[in-house]
């Protein structure tokens, strides 16, 4: 199990110049880096890989940033834009030595509507069809896709572990796994530990986030059953801190971060990893 940090806490967009953060991340004790690539043109993956190697780090995951126009259940144009974007990320992952494309790859974030059953069925079929194509593309390059349910305010399509597992079963590809996040689960799941147990071997990626998007451990989440469940299913993937602050304006607006959750963003990373290492010890 590796402890990682999502770079949205410090940079948006992530560019070649953002690799200057790697030295600090390594000093704090992280071994895995999660990079949200907002546009493939923002980075030279060979340069980023060289900087990772220089600091003894690995890119554990590339986070799909499903902004406007990227929607596997949207218009034909939106579907193509999303597919081309995700395939480009997978190509970059090969250069980066990164195993996992993670996040809500199925739809644009923020699309949350009361859809009629007929529309839901149609959109579900579109996402399954598109994910089958994307999974085949990823498998040919020995990469996996980890699908993340989001809370009800960010999507109406996939909110719970059960829904995520249903989608994975429908896609039917061995390289499509589930990505769970304690922030979203805190809103949508009756019991986080039981959701993790239900995911079992299909859990491919995990975000450890505070209930308020702040420091994990400095919140009301009951972490003991979460850790126990991850141990029971023998999860050996990355545990990543994905937090946002008002310091990164674009992401603050997108994630509805209207106030400072912690004194500094450095504190989220430093105290967060200390807490995680302690509870997982």
Query: If you average pLDDT over residues 93-121, what whole number do you get?
Result: 96
C-alpha–C-alpha distance, residues 17 and 158, integer Å:
34
Q: How confident is the model at residue 255 (pLDDT cuts 50, 70, 90)?
A: confident
Q: How confident is the model at residue 252 (pLDDT cuts 50, 70, 90)?
A: low
| Domains delineated in the chain | 2-279 (3.20.20.150)
- Per residue in 180-235, pLDDT (tens digit) is 999 999 999 999 999 999 999 999 999 999 999 889 999 999 999 999 999 999 99
- Per residue in 37-72, pLDDT (tens digit) is 999 999 999 999 999 999 999 999 999 999 999 999
Contacts of 102 (CB under 8 A, 6+ apart): 34, 61, 62, 63, 64, 145, 146, 148, 179, 204, 205
Read off the pTM: 0.95
Of 34, 51, 58, 148, the active-site residue reads 148
The phi, psi pair for 36, rounded to 5°, reads -80, 115
- Taking only Cα atoms into account, the Rg of the chain, rounded to an integer number of angstroms, comes to 17
C-alpha–C-alpha distance, residues 150 and 104, integer Å:
7
Residue 154 catalytic?
A: no
- 20-29, 102-111, 240-249 — which is least confidently predicted? 240-249
Of 34, 38, 188, 242, the active-site residue reads 242
Residue appearing with tokens 């009361």: 114
Residue 148 catalytic?
A: yes
The phi, psi pair for 197, rounded to 5°, reads -60, -40
Write the burial class of residue 8 (CB in 10 Å: 0-12 exposed, 13-18 middle, 19+ buried): buried
């Amino acid at each position: 199990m590796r402890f990682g940090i999502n770079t949205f806490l410090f940079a948006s967009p992530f560019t070649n110049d953002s690799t200057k953060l790697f030295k600090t991340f390594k000093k704090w004790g992280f071994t895995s880096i999660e990079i949200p690539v907002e546009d493939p043109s923002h980075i030279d993956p060979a340069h980023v890989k060289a900087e990772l190697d220089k600091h003894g780090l690995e890119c554990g995951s590339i986070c799909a940033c499903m902004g406007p126009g990227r929607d596997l259940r949207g218009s034909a144009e939106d579907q193509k834009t999303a597919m081309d974007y995700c395939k480009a990320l997978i190509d970059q992952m090969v250069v980066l030595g990164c195993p996992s494309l993670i996040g809500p790859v199925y739809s644009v974030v923020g699309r949350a509507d009361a859809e009629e059953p007929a529309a839901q069925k149609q959109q579900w079929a579109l996402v399954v069809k598109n994910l089958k194509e994307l999974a085949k593309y990823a498998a040919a390059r020995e990469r996996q896709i980890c699908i993340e349910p989001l809370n009800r305010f960010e999507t109406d399509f996939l909110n719970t572990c059960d829904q995520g597992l249903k989608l994975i079963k429908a896609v039917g590809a061995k390289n499509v796994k589930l990505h769970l996040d304690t922030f979203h689960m805190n809103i949508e799941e009756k019991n986080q530990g039981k959701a993790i147990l239900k995911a079992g071997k299909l859990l491919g990626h995990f975000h450890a986030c505070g209930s308020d998007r702040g420091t994990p451990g400095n919140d009301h989440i009951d972490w003991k059953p979460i850790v126990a469940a991850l141990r029971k299913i023998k999860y050996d993937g990355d545990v990543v801190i994905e937090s946002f602050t008002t310091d990164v304006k674009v992401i603050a607006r997108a994630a509805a971060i209207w106030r400072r959750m912690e004194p500094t963003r450095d504190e989220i990373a430093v105290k967060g990893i200390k807490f995680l290492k302690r509870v997982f010890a």
